[in-house]
Amino acid sequence: NNFKAAVHSKYEIKDLGEAISFLNIRILRDVNAKKLWICQDGYINKLGVKFGIDQSMRTATPLTSSYRPQSFEGQATIQQITEMQEKVGSILYAAVVSRPDISYAASQLSQHAMNPSPEHLRYANRVLSYLQTTQYYAIEFSGSVDNATEVEPGDDEVLQQSSDASFADDPETRKSTQGYLMKLFSGAIMWQSSKQKTVTTSTTEAELLSLSHTARETIALYRLFEQIQFDPQHQPRIL
């Protein structure tokens, strides 16, 4: 209410009540349980219709454990390139907004969007099928504090960060994949999966590069916290 009043004091606004949807994001809230969820089931269902995904097919994972597609040595048609880019773009939106579980798959597929092979297109369809299967997956935020800007010192459950790397998992470049996940009040707020820019010579080096990247993102996040006057009351700790 204080935030709304402050905005209203400077700008003309129209109060539409409690938020239930925003940019293809469904928002659910249980005030008594102090929980909030964000879900993109409606958006994902539209993707299934748009791309003709068989909703009766059940896909348990975004990619197979043996996923190692190579760059396409041939030349994809304009139609194949357009199809791949439309699918990857749609997958990326879900990956960025509410589905950290497909971040790796989205990152991998985007590397082949300019010249996809038939195999790349099949994997894009697999990710879309996985999204259909898990369309009701949601990010849950919860907390026991009455005021989200006032937390107890040392409460490690308020903010959690983790970092990881997969050494030399790109068979063509020998570059490693890195990723991080940050959670606030038990819900994921930032995540990324990406290929490292340099070739490392050991698992330790790949892990340290990933940790350094996560640390920089953490610093940026804490600067944002400072701007919105939120203090998590403990020093960052990356797992």
Q: Where are the domains of the chain?
A: 21-64+75-144, 157-239
- The end-to-end CA distance of the chain, in Å, is 35
pLDDT over 70 for what percent of the chain?
A: 94
Q: What is the pLDDT of residue 150?
A: 47
Angle at 179 between CA 81 and CA 66, to 5 degrees: 60
Give the residue carrying structure tokens 């109060």: 15
Rg (CA), the chain: 20
pLDDT digits (tens, 9 = 90+) for 88-124: 999 999 999 999 999 999 999 999 999 999 999 999 9
Residue 132: what pLDDT? 96
Please report, rounded to a whole number, the percentage of residues in the chain having pLDDT higher than 90. 76
Give pLDDT tens digits for 172-210.
999 999 999 999 989 999 999 999 999 999 999 999 999
Q: What is the mean pLDDT of the chain?
A: 91
Q: How far apart are CA 161 and CA 16, in angstroms?
A: 35
Contacts of 124 (CB under 8 A, 6+ apart): 84, 87, 88, 91, 109, 116
The CA distances from residue 224 to 157, 217, 230, in Å, are 19, 11, 9
Closest CA to 22 of 8, 2, 10, 40: 40
User: What is the model's pLDDT at position 17?
Assistant: 86
Residue 156 pLDDT > 60: no
CA distance 83 to 237: 42
Q: What is the pLDDT of residue 236?
A: 76
Which amino acid is located at 200 in the chain?
T
Residue 233: is its pLDDT beyond 90?
no
Of the two residues 193 and 154, the one the predictor is more confident about is 193
